[in-house]
């Protein structure tokens, strides 16, 4: 039952992240400001939710240092992600980011007791195949800006993989970990803010929704799920995010859906379901 809940958490996080592009577009904020305000508002929400004694205690000195490192990595990721969005398309930005679980599996080889089994790696292979089909139309005609955006996004994905591995090894709750990660990341982004600018109220509301839903809630669900779900299966499930992003793009912005999109989405969806069913049989 606990493992099944873990899969539900990962599925929910993947679907939430799939709508991030829609919320970001509707906010109309520049990348750095949007990153900062999403983190600021997520931190405020978690400060209210977390009891005071939990906010002041995360365990040993080592836990504090790991939380600090995770926050710095998350700040770097935010800057890389939103700058990638300025350089290339949403699909080109999402494609490398969904390689985060693959990076985790590769890095896990160097951690005790985390080496992937050959049978589980097939889920990652099919997930990558689905993504390649999904984004073939936008990858055919790459420009210098596209390549640079893809590299930024790839680097951000690597940062998030490191953060997720840190979260797996900490003994504190997912809620406490995400709280410290967000607070540290917001402080790191503060020096990059331009002179204070006033945005329309709806922009702050959209940024607040991103902070609450896509930052606080989604990462808590994801890190909780990773504690009971295999990395290989989580990798397959998280690849549902670009499928959700494609659907949301069509519904909200009438973005075209090609045959490659339908084929890739079918492979990813079937692969994610297969990973979950495989775990249920073991």
DSSP 172-204: S-HHHHHHHHHHHHHHHHGGG--S-----HHHH
Q: What is the mean pLDDT of the chain?
A: 77
Rounded Cα gap, residues 35 and 53, in angstroms: 28
- pLDDT band (50, 70, 90) for residue 278: low
Give the pLDDT confidence score for residue 159 in this predicted structure: 92
CB 100 within 8 A of CB 164: yes
For 38-72, write each residue's pLDDT tens digit.
888 888 888 887 766 665 555 677 777 888 899 99
**How far, in whole angstroms, is CA 39 from its chain's centroid?**
14
The DSSP result for 71-90, as a single string, is: HHHHHHHHHHHHHHHHHS-H
Q: What is the pLDDT of residues 185-242, one digit of tens each?
A: 999 888 877 766 688 889 989 988 998 898 888 888 887 887 777 766 776 777 777 7
Judged by DSSP in three states, 96 sits in helix
3-class state of residue 29 by DSSP: coil
How many C-beta atoms surround the C-beta of residue 160 within 10 A? 24
Using 50, 70 and 90 to split pLDDT, how confident is the model at 73?
very high
User: Which has the higher per-residue pLDDT, 188 or 112?
Assistant: 188
- Among 92, 74, 98, smallest CA distance to 238 is for 98
- Over the stretch 162-180, which tens digit does the pLDDT of each residue have? 988 888 777 677 777 888 8
Q: Which two tokens stand for residue 243?
A: 């499928």
pTM to 2 decimal places: 0.73
Decide if pLDDT at 154 tops 80. Answer: yes
- What would the two tokens of residue 63 be? 């836990």
Top-confidence residue, 92 or 8: 8
Average pLDDT, integer, range 102-129: 67
Q: What is the pLDDT of residue 72?
A: 93
State the Cα–Cα distance between residues 98 and 126, nearest whole angstrom. 13
Domain boundaries along the sequence of the chain: 2-281
């Amino acid at each position: 039952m606990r493992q099944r809940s873990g899969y539900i958490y990962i599925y929910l996080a993947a679907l939430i992240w799939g709508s991030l592009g829609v919320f970001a577009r509707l906010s109309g904020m520049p990348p750095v400001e949007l990153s900062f305000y999403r983190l600021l508002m997520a931190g405020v929400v978690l400060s209210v939710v977390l009891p005071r004694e939990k906010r002041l205690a995360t365990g040993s000195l080592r836990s504090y240092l790991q939380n600090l490192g995770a926050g710095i990595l998350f700040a770097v990721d935010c800057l890389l992600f939103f700058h990638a969005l300025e350089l290339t398309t949403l699909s080109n930005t999402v494609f490398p980011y969904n390689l985060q679980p693959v990076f985790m599996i590769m890095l896990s080889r160097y951690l005790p007791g985390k080496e992937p089994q050959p049978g589980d790696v097939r889920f990652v292979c099919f997930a990558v195949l689905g993504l390649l089909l999904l984004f073939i139309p936008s990858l055919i005609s790459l420009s210098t800006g596209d390549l640079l955006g893809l590299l930024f996004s790839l680097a951000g994905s690597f940062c998030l993989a490191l953060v997720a591995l840190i979260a797996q090894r900490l003994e504190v709750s997912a809620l406490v970990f995400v709280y410290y990660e967000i607070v540290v990341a917001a402080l790191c982004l503060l020096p990059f803010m331009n002179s204070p600018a006033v945005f329309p109220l709806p922009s702050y509301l959209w940024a607040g929704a991103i902070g609450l839903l896509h930052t606080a809630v989604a990462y808590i669900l994801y890190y909780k799920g990773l504690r009971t779900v295999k990395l290989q299966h989580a990798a397959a499930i998280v690849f549902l995010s670009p499928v959700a992003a494609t659907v949301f793009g069509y519904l909200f912005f009438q973005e075209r859906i090609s045959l490659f999109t339908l084929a890739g989405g079918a492979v990813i969806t079937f692969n994610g379901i297969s990973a979950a069913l495989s775990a249920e049989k073991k």
